């Protein structure tokens, strides 16, 4: 949700900033801009539209200089226009600022600046207020008087940033440069991620390490309320309140190659095809054939504590919550622990009754989703043990949780989440297995589950081989105006997830429902031009699903069915198109049934000419509420 890249070094900043922005484009793509400083002042290029348009602008008039900041925007305050594109400037035009987050009290700050005659605003953004405020404080303080000696320009700018941020209510990741202060930039964060990349005679700032990993793999993940002053060969981290701040330089665990598309036309397709490996990596070292259970040391809980858990709340947003909903079925079935999956955005503001031994799981691929982070903080504030299931190991949710399980799925760049979903479901299966084996599950039950989990990577390979035939089905339904998705039990959340995938990347109207709900109202929608997709593996409710399909068929609704190998015969005359996946245990089937539907949404979106990796209005990591 907005991407920031900053550079101070000896190289030309422009290509480095542009390259970084391209890597961060998944965070937002409404407008983009750079501010590069050289001996003559600040050179700015910015425009509404994608990074490619900014690149054209920069090619026409190349900005030159060895330090600068840049931004790709996902609009929150103010329309998508050239003027609202970042960077924004103070009244002197010498200070440039880029921002990710939301300044909630911007209106009050703006009115004050206008009243005092300190600023003429050229944009409708909340960000411009911050640029003016920092600029004003820089220009008016720390110059020394009879009693105090003047401070250096660098110290004055750090002090101005600190003083301005102390007035701000809201969230921010920012980068600031000033044309009077050569080879110097400042970064700060609260609620929006910011990473310092430590190079050799060059340093970087970025919202995400993927922007800078081609240049350095040494990174400092800044904490909330950190302010970092960055020069070519040094940096200093202090806290918003003043005084030093703790930090650690860590090695980034992936390389620039890992975040390329390889031979795939889109990240989404690459990530769908990575699932045999990502699923394997989610369980690597976590299955114990001896104990017939899972080993999840990162939970930081003793066996007695695990056994004493009386209730579980699983929270997250979007795809992560859909995985959580499968977790709800899994944990209740295998461990009989009452479990509730709850939208993070609702949970954090609701007064959910929680009994003493409630365990909370916050699920998030990015680990930066504002609503999920808010839910985690609320749960911790109330004193509940709160665990994270995250992919990004350096993320705020991973760092603030009391323990958890990493997905190890590798970077997910496609805006539509795919491999993170299956990894999340695998991890929730491990949690359910562990809790179940602490209670009533036998060793035989445990072994059967482990065997089914170990078979998954090979079975996913089988499903991926169906890509071309799924493409043909997608083409057949390309003129549909919308679709309905139905599933029961463990596969009901798959219907929700499949509908979300279709909506996000094809822009078609889609809804997911429990199959049996059909007759309680949804059936009124059924007509010959509205396809229904049933997720009906050969499980305990297969025959019930079959009944529901008959009800659709009787009303001339076209049916696509995702089922288990060997069921096609039973669906003859009912389903128009059948996609079969390998057989597994009922509660593990979502990991296999969701993949054809990821492929279905992907192929349909390509057929409709959609921008699969950067769908309209979306951003990968939603760091605003």
Strand partners, 534: 486, 561
Among 48, 320, 330, 360, binds ligand F6R (CB under 6 A): 320
Distance separating alpha carbons of residues 429 and 587, to the nearest angstrom: 9
Determine the interface stretch with ligand F6R among 255-263, 312-320, 435-443, 486-494 (rule: CB under 6 A).
312-320
DSSP 164-227: HHHT--B-EEEEEEETTSTT-EEEEEEBS--EEEE-SS-EEEESSGGGTTTT-SEEEEPPTTEE
- Cβ 22 to ligand F6R shortest distance, Å: 20
On whether the CB atoms of residues 435 and 334 are closer than 8 A, the answer is yes
Given the rule CB under 6 A, which of 76-84, 359-367, 473-481, 521-529 is the region that contacts ligand F6R? Answer: 359-367
* CB closer to ligand F6R, 16 vs 344: 344
CB of 316 to ligand F6R, least distance (A): 6
Q: In 515-558, at which residue ranges do the beta strands (DSSP E only) sit?
A: 532-535
Catalytic residue among 2, 317, 561, 567: 2
As measured in angstroms, the least distance from the Cβ of 469 to ligand F6R is 24
Angle at 95 between CA 89 and CA 97, to 5 degrees: 60
Q: Is 372 in the site for ligand F6R (CB under 6 A)?
A: yes
Instruction: Please pick, from the candidates 72, 123, 364, 598, the single residue that binds ligand F6R as defined by CB under 6 A.
Output: 364
Which residue number is nearest to ligand F6R in terms of Cβ? 318
Both tokens of 426, joined, read 């695998």
CA distance 54 to 50: 7
* CB nearer ligand F6R, residue 436 or residue 615: 615
**Secondary structure letter of residue 568 according to DSSP:** G
Nearer to ligand F6R, 274 or 504 (CB): 504
Q: Count of residues binding ligand F6R (CB under 6 A)?
A: 16
DSSP secondary structure, 119-152, as one string: ----S--SHHHHHHHHHHHHHHSSS--SSSPPPP
278 binds ligand F6R (CB under 6 A): no
How far CA 394 is from CA of 42, 92, 284, 581, in Å, comes to: 33, 37, 20, 35
Name which of 231 and 613 has its Cβ closer to ligand F6R: 613
Identity of the residue, 54 or 397, whose beta carbon is nearer to ligand F6R in the bound complex: 397
Does 317 interact with ligand F6R (rule: CB under 6 A)?
yes
- 335: Cα separation from own chain's centroid: 29
* Minimum separation from the CB atom of position 176 to ligand F6R (A): 27
Residue 396 makes contact with ligand F6R by CB under 6 A: no
Stretch that binds ligand F6R, among 365-373, 455-463, 510-518, 588-596 (CB under 6 A): 365-373
Spell out, one character per residue from 592 to 621, where the chain touches ligand F6R: x when CB under 6 A holds, - when not. Answer: -----------------------------x
Which one from 46, 501, 503, 620 is the annotated catalytic residue? Answer: 620
416 binds ligand F6R (CB under 6 A): yes
Q: Please list every residue from 417 through 456 that binds ligand F6R, using CB under 6 A.
A: 417
What is the spatial distance between Cα 437 and Cα 516, in angstroms, rounded to a whole number? 32
Other Cβ atoms less than 10 A from the Cβ of 623: the count is 26
Tokens of 508: 């078609």
**Range list of H helices, 395-440:** 396-400, 419-437
Residue 459 binds ligand F6R, judged by CB under 6 A: no
Q: Where on the phi/psi map is residue 470: left (φ > 0), alpha (ψ -120 to 50), or beta?
A: alpha
Give the H or E element holding residue 461. helix 443-464
Least Å from the CB of residue 534 to ligand F6R: 22
CB atoms within 10 A of CB 12: 17
Token representation of residue 316: 């997250």
Mark 45-74 with x for binding to ligand F6R (rule: CB under 6 A) and - for no binding.
------------------------------
Q: What angle do CA 369, 373, 376 make, to 5 degrees?
A: 145
Tally of residues, the chain: 625
Select from 369, 16, 29 the least CA-distant residue to 193: 369
Q: Segment contacting ligand F6R (CB under 6 A): 168-176, 193-201, 358-366, 527-535?
A: 358-366
DSSP 336-391: ---EEEEEHHHHTTS-----TTEEEEEEESSS--HHHHHHHHHHHHTT-EEEEEES
Q: Is 620 a catalytic residue?
A: yes
What residues numbered 498-557 form the site for ligand F6R, per CB under 6 A?
500, 504
Footprint of ligand F6R on 115-174 (CB under 6 A): none
Among 31, 315, 319, 489, binds ligand F6R (CB under 6 A): 319
Nearer to ligand F6R, 369 or 580 (CB): 369
**266, 622, 623, 624: residue in contact with ligand F6R (rule CB under 6 A):** 622
Q: How far apart are CA 186 and CA 156, in angstroms?
A: 12
For ligand F6R, the closer CB: 452 or 619? 619
Which region, judged by CB under 6 A, interacts with ligand F6R, from 254-262, 363-371, 508-516, 550-558? Answer: 363-371
Q: Using the minimum distance from each CB to ligand F6R, give the nearer residue, 181 or 417.
A: 417
Sequence-distant (6+) residues with CB within 8 A of 87 are: 33, 34, 35, 44, 46, 69, 70, 71, 96, 97, 98, 131
Q: How far is the CB of 415 from ligand F6R (least distance, A)?
A: 6
Q: Which of 66, 76, 179, 366 binds ligand F6R (CB under 6 A)?
A: 366
DSSP state of 580: E
Residue 210 touching ligand F6R (CB under 6 A):
no
Residue nearer to ligand F6R on the CB measure, 316 or 487? 316
**365 scored as a contact of ligand F6R (CB under 6 A):** yes
- Least Å distance, CB 370 to ligand F6R, is 9
Give the DSSP H/E element, type plus range, for residue 41: strand 41-48
Q: For residues 27 and 75, what is the distance between their CA atoms, to the nearest angstrom?
A: 11
Catalytic residue positions? 2, 620
Where do contacts with ligand F6R occur on this chain (CB under 6 A)? 316-320, 364-366, 369, 372, 416-417, 500, 504, 621-622
């Amino acid at each position: 949700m907005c991407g920031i890249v900053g550079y101070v070094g000896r190289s030309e900043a422009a290509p480095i900033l542009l390259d970084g922005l391209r890597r961060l484009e998944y965070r937002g793509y409404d407008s983009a801009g750079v501010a590069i400083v050289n001996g003559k002042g600040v050179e700015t290029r910015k425009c509404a539209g994608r990074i490619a348009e900014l690149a054209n602008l920069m090619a026409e008039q190349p900005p030159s200089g060895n330090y600068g900041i840049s931004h790709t925007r996902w609009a929150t305050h103010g329309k998508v226009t050239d003027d609202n594109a970042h960077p924004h400037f103070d009244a002197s035009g010498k200070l440039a600022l880029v921002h990710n987050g939301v300044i909630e009290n911007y209106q009050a700050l703006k009115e004050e600046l206008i009243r005092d005659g300190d600023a003429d605003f050229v944009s409708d953004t909340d960000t411009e207020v911050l640029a003016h405020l920092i600029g004003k404080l820089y220009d008016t303080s720390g110059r020394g008087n009879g009693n105090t000696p003047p401070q250096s320009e660098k110290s004055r700018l750090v002090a101005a940033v600190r003083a301005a941020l102390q007035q701000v209510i809201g969230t921010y990741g920012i980068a600031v440069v000033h044309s009077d202060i050569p080879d110097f930039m400042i970064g700060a964060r609260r609620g929006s991620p910011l990473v310092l990349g430590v190079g050799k005679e060059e340093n970087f700032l970025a919202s995400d390490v993927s922007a800078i990993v081609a240049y350095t793999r040494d990174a400092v993940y800044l904490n909330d309320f950190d302010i970092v002053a960055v020069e070519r060969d040094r940096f200093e981290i202090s806290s918003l309140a003043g005084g030093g701040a703790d930090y650690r330089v860590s090695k980034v665990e992936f390389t620039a190659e890992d975040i390329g598309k390889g031979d795939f036309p889109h990240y989404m397709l690459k990530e769908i095809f990575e699932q045999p490996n990502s699923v394997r990596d989610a369980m690597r070292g976590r299955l114990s054939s001896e104990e017939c259970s899972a080993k999840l040391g990162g939970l930081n809980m003793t066996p007695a504590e695990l056994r004493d858990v009386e209730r579980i709340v699983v929270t997250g947003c979007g795809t992560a919550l859909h995985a959580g909903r499968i977790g709800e079925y899994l944990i209740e079935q295998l461990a009989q622990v009452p479990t509730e999956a709850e939208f993070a955005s609702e949970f954090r503001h609701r007064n959910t009754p929680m009994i003493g031994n409630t365990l909370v799981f916050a699920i998030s691929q990015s680990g930066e989703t504002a609503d999920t982070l808010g839910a985690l903080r609320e749960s911790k504030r109330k004193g509940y043990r709160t665990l994270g299931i995250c992919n990004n190991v350096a993320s705020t949710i991973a760092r603030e949780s009391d323990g958890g399980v990493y997905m190890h799925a590798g970077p997910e760049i496609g805006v539509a989440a795919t491999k993170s979903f299956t990894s999340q479901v695998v991890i929730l299966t491990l949690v359910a297995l562990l809790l179940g084996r602490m209670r009533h599950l036998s060793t035989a039950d445990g072994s059967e589950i482990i065997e089914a989990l170990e078979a998954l990577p090979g079975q996913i390979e089988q499903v991926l081989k169906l890509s071309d035939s799924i493409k043909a089905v997608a083409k057949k339904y390309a003129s549909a105006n919308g679709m309905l998705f139905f599933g029961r039990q463990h596969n009901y959340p798959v219907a929700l997830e499949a509908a979300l995938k279709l909506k996000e990347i094809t822009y078609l109207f889609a809804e997911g429902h429990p199959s049996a709900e059909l007759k309680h109202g949804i059936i009124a929608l059924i007509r010959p031009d509205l396809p229904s997709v049933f997720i009906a593996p050969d499980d305990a409710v297969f025959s019930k699903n079959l009944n529901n399909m008959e009800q659709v068929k009787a009303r001339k609704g076209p049916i696509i069915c995702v089922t288990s190998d060997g069921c096609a015969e039973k669906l003859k005359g009912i389903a128009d198109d059948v996609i079969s996946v390998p057989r597994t245990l009922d509660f593990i089937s979502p990991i296999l049934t969701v993949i054809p539907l990821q492929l279905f949404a992907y192929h349909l979106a390509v057929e409709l000419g959609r921008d699969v990796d950067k769908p309209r209005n979306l951003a990968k990591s939603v760091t605003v509420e």
